[in-house]
Each structure stands twice: as structure tokens, then as C-alpha cells.
Structure 1
């Protein structure tokens, strides 16, 4: 049975001493990041070239000799920080090479300031000797982390299969424990009903998040718009206190820190509601049809419109289509992406006439060929279904490039030089060699 890489997220409950140690680890990772920014920037100014990944990792033993507290952090976490820095630097160079404008290209890595409640630590499978489930029905258990001890975790789905890696993240006043593992797709464990339709076309939008070719639609929940009134009030309270604090040059008080925590908590709730809605909708869509047709939308380009930017960000179409893509692959469905520059709006799905382009204000239009009156979004979804059926009739070639899953660094044992983690035989235990994976322990 084919196995795929999956992830499970839990809420972690740490003791006071464990939280203190974790914040120290996060601070150490931030210190390594800042040293990479400092050393690499100075080297680039002098020689015009950046320090390679392999040379940056050679500084870790030197930094540990001068700063013994770095030795308390798992070695794989510090190596992962350097890897993230090199990836961010590569993205900046790639955008410069392609000549992207300043507003749309990725910038070079910057100095990270100390912010309470932010940061994460990467953990390899060697740093998690035990992951035990303590409840039969609910995903509750305990995870043993080397140098940190046993922590209680609670989530929505318990991982099964072979453990690859994990990450312990500080997210405000809560702690998030995410696990990456390799196991059969969920459809092999949970029975999925057969598809009710053979081909389904989806048209994404802002007023209706998804309009199906069958006529069904899912209205955009607009989680950010609903919470905007409360967010505005919390933001005003924090901004006034922050302005007065900077004017009087005072340190951050506990009351001011609580204002910031309340604001961040409200933003996290909006993000969690949006993610929950996306997961429910994507699961329903992939279970409904055998072949799904979607548009290759330029969401980043849509967000450049100042009148639509907030609504585009609130809808989260990119994340929704990403979830539809990998869930369709897990469940044995096929996903067809219509080209970004192919017309779908203003095309009659009945007679096949490609009419003139329609403005955003035109919601209902009449076909010049057959005289049918069409709803803008429903007709676009039916047109996508028509193109998808033509693709099916041609034999359904290889899946779209965005659907094919690329192997992760936790899944592949061999890493490219300068881009992956160190996998030497002597450093295997310290850097988390995943060639010898261990099964998750289920009690």
C-alpha cells in the first residue's frame, strides 16, 4: 500500500520548567540566525559573495565553545536554522535574477528581534524516543522529548506509521506540537463514500468561496470581516498604549503585554476558523467527484487590487486549492488545473461560444449565440467542467505540476549538498538521521 507524508498538530501542555527551557532554545535559535545575518552580510560586502551553507555549519562548533549554552539545544535545531537562512537567501537571489519589482520580490534575511511568544524548534526522530497514546477514542497522549522531558499533547488525529520529524512552536500563550509521519492515506483507514458525480467543475470567488458546476455553492464565511470590529477595538487600545510607552521611553509592562496577547489571540482565532472551514470544504469536494477541475488562479495578483486585497486574503483560495490537491491524491481522485490564461468567464457552457470579457459588476449575462441567461459564477464552473471533460476524453495525462508531491527532507535520506541537513554517520544521532525510522508507539 502506498504511503504518503502527513502531519498532525497537537496542543502541548508544558510545565513551568519545560517552558523556560523551550524559550531558551528559541532564543538560541534566534541568536544563530542573527549571527548568520551578520557574518553573511559582512562577507558579502567585502567579497561580493555569500557564505555557502557548508561553511556556515562549520561555525557551530566554534560558537558552542564560546557560548556553552548553545550546547543545551538539540544540534539538529541549530542546523535547521542555518538551512532556513540559506533558503530565504536563495529566494531573494532568485527574485533578483528574474527582475521582479521591489514590492513583489522576497527580501534578504533580516535581523530577528526578541518577541515574546514567537519561535519554534525543529526536532528529528532521534529526539523523540517515545510518542504514546493514552486515550482510545481521542487523540491524547504524551511525547517524550530529549532534554525536555515528557509533555502532554492533545489534538484531532493521532499519527500512525513511521515518525519523520517534529516541531515545537511557541504561538502566543499556547504551545503547538506538530508531527510529520509517513503512513497510508486516511482513506485506507477511514472509508470514503464513492463519488456521486464523475466530473465536477469549481469556480472560486469572493462572494461565494466555491461555486460548483452542479449548482451548489459555498458562501464565503468572511471570518476576518466578522471579527474586524473586535480587532479594531483591540488594535486601538494597544496602539495608544504603545505610543505612550515609546514617548515616555518605558519598558513593556505586564498590562501592555496582555493587551498584545489579546490582540494576537483574536488573530489566531480567525486563522483557526478559516483553516477549519477549508478542511471541511476540501474533504467534501474530494469525496463528491472522481475528477475535479479548478482554475490556476493568480491569487497574488488578485491581492494587488487595493479594493479586493482584504477579501482575497480573507478567502484563502490558495490554501483551499492546495488542500483539494493533496486530498484528491490521497483518495485516488484526479485533479485538472485549467490554464491561468484560459477564458472561463463569459463563455457559454451550452453552445460553446466565447463571448466578450465581462466586468466585475456583471453578475448575470445573456449568450449571443443561444440566448441562454447565465449566472456569472455558475457558468464559469460549468465551463471548467466542460474543459475537464475534454481533458478526460483525451486520456487524462499526467497530474498537474502543483498536485504532484515533492519528497520532503524528512522523507528522503539523501540530501543535495548545501541545501539539506548533515547526514554523516558520526553525526547521525545528533542531527537526526531518518534513515532508520522508528514506528510510533501506540498504547
Structure 2
């Protein structure tokens, strides 16, 4: 199984200039190749694109500076464009599962910059990593690499930070689960309410959001193209990076814990795009990261031989008593505790929903939309007393 290991690097001022030149060349080759593909009626092969956008332009005066950087990232840029077009065509034809993929777009200087090196363009050492025509870059090793990397990608994010992302072969360590199953109900203030009674609160981003709001107002007042606006843009980008890293760390740790401890993980298929139409909750919903948590759990469950299940969004998990199965109907979101009028048990709204999600995910309760009825006759449903019709027939026989 292939995985990515990302580490922070600290290039020198000279190496930053070399990396900026490399990112610019990769961006120009991508944009030239994309422009060429749009002009042609048929998508050319990668070898033809490399000849049109790398080999021939190097001999001209306008693009002779392409020879100052390594040719490996330039060739990988053309190859990545071919993969982007392939994903787009397969998505439109229905051969690719999941959401529809948009066609590749032109790259901008202010966006995230990347350059990919394959074998022959880099070398891993004890404290540094050598990149072709860049030199040895100091790297912060937070953990050892499990195997020899097949490729490395140099990344510069919008906040001005530099990273190296290695592609390595990993053998996942499969641990025996502690619990047979778990159902998780996702929310805003309480991010995850588990069927085992555990509740995980969402991280507090309020202080960072207040700073981001203030810096965003200052950024809007800066003149476009000025140095002050560029400095303010970096401040806003760093705050966004802090929020993103905090959310990503929280979701990775929680998904790892859930997958390690449980054999069956059941989640509800939430209509996030529909929920975002609510103006009062759209920002909080988009910042929660529900879909990212679902993707992480699904990927890690596949790697660790766990069973990941998604129940229908139409399943009335908040409208059914988890003890007796009585359905009381829709209840306003402001109601957080419910007393069942059938069995008299008092339920917390989220705890009751998570318990129902686990029952449907495991199979103890059928999916509401799939079965069409909550009642189903089985062999165990046998009456002890004879029916009234049988008594009537016996009376007639006498």
C-alpha cells in the first residue's frame, strides 16, 4: 500500500530563489501544455506535449530559461496534466465513481505551488534531502520513513511554508478491535456522539476566527498590487493554515482512534450541500469537516480490514426510540431530550440517534427506505393461543 509522508523543510534564501524559479517553470509548462490541448481537436500524447512545451521552447530565446532547472519536474507536470484530463473524461463518461471532476485549469502564482521529482532527481540523507539543481535542503524529520521513497513533491503553500511529500510503500499494522461495532452521529458543538456513550467536542476555533475576521477587513482596505497588501495576504493565509492544520490534526486523530477500536463503523449519509443553504449554520457546517472525517474513516477502515458502512440519509434515526422502536415523528432541533411515550425511557437526542445508526449499520434494524415497512413476519412470530377463526371452525364442527 502506498502512502504519503509529509515533512517541513527550511530552505536557505538562495534555495528559495531556486525553488521559486523551479515553481515558475513548472507553472509555465503546465499552462502552455493546457493551452496547446485546448487549441487542438484531439488530446495529444505526453511525449508530443513534452516536445511542444519543453524540448522545442528551450531552443527559443523566450523560453531558454527552462533549461536552468531540472527536466524531471517539467516532464512530471505534463504527465500530471494527462492524468487530470483522463480523470475528467472518465468522470463525464461514468467510468469514474464519486463526484464529477472538473477539467484542469490554468495555474496562478499566488496559489499553492508544487514540483514533483521522481527517482534520479532526489536523494535522501540523514539530516538533509538532495534535489537536482537545488542542493541539499534541511528537513525536519518528525518520524522515520518506513521504506525507500519512489517520488518526492516539493510544496509551497499560500502561507509561504515549504514541505516535502514522500510516496512510500507501507504495510499497515492491523490491531484486533476492542468493540464489535459503533454508530456515530455527527454534530456541530458536539462533533461526534458515539453509541458507546462517548462524546467528542469540536475544537475551539473562536480565537483564530476573530483574528481572521479582523485581518480580513484590513486586507480589503489595502491597495491591489502593493507590498502592504502582500504582507497582509500572508497574515491571512497563515491564520487559515493554522485553522486548517488544527482541524486536520483533530480529524486524523479521531478517525484513527475510531478505526483502531471498532470492527464495524456506521455513519449517516448527510446531505451537506443541502444543509449549507441554511444561512445561519452554513459557515459552521462547512468548517466542521464532516465529509473529510467520513473520507478518512473510509480509507483507514479499508487499510485495517474494518467494515465501514453508510446508512441512508432518509433513515429516521432521531424519530425512533432506540429501546422499544416506537416512532414519535419529527421533533424540532431545539428539543435535546425526549421521553418515549411508549416505554417511558428518557433519551438524549444525539445518544438515541447514534444508537439507531449502529443498529441499522450492523443490521439489527432494516433500512427504512429499503424495506418499506418496519414490520416483517418471521418464523419466531408464533401465537401461543389459537386464533378466533380456529375457535369458530371448531364450534361449527361440533
Residue by residue over 1:131-178, the C-alpha shift from the partner in whole angstroms, topping out at 9 and shown as x without a partner, is: 234xxxxxxx32122222211111432211232221101123321111
2:134 aligned to which of 144, 148, 151: 148
Matched, 1:19 2:6: no
Matches within 5 A, 1:142-291: 142-171=128-157, 172-185=159-172, 187=173, 194-223=176-205, 225-241=206-222, 245-246=223-224, 251-253=225-227, 255-291=228-264
Q: Which has the higher contact order (CA 8 A, sep 6+)?
A: 1
Matches within 5 A, 1:353-364: 353-364=326-337
2:33 aligned to which of 20, 36, 42: 36
Contact 2:73–2:116 (8 Å) recurs in 1:
yes
1:64 aligned to which of 58, 63, 75: 58
Task: Tell me the residue number matched to 2:116.
Answer: 122
Q: How many residue pairs were aligned?
A: 357
Matches within 5 A, 1:318-337: 318-337=291-310
Deviation at 1:222, TM superposition (A): 4.2
Distance 1:252 1:118 in 2: 20
Deviation at 1:284, TM superposition (A): 2.0
Q: Which entry has the higher C-alpha Rg, 1 or 2?
A: 2
State the TM-score, normalized to the length of structure 2: 0.79
Deviation at 1:367, TM superposition (A): 3.5
- Specify every segment of 5 or more residues in structure 2 that has no aligned partner in the other structure, as ranges: 367-398
1:51 aligned to which of 43, 49, 62: 43
Distance 2:320 2:44 in 1: 52
Task: Tell me the residue number matched to 1:306.
Answer: 279
Secondary structure of 2:149's counterpart equals: strand
Contact 1:222–1:315 (8 Å) recurs in 2:
no
Contact 2:359–2:365 (8 Å) recurs in 1:
no
- Specify every segment of 5 or more residues in structure 1 that has no aligned partner in the other structure, as ranges: 44-48, 99-103, 134-140, 394-443
Distance 1:264 1:350 in 2: 49
Deviation at 1:368, TM superposition (A): 4.8
Residues 238 and 111 of structure 1, relative CA distance in 2, 3 Å threshold? same
Deviation at 1:289, TM superposition (A): 1.9
Matched, 1:112 2:86: no
Q: Which moved more, 1:346-355 or 1:309-318?
A: 346-355
Task: Tell me the residue number matched to 1:82.
Answer: 78
Contact 2:72–2:121 (8 Å) recurs in 1:
no
Deviation at 1:363, TM superposition (A): 2.7
State the TM-score, normalized to the length of structure 1: 0.72
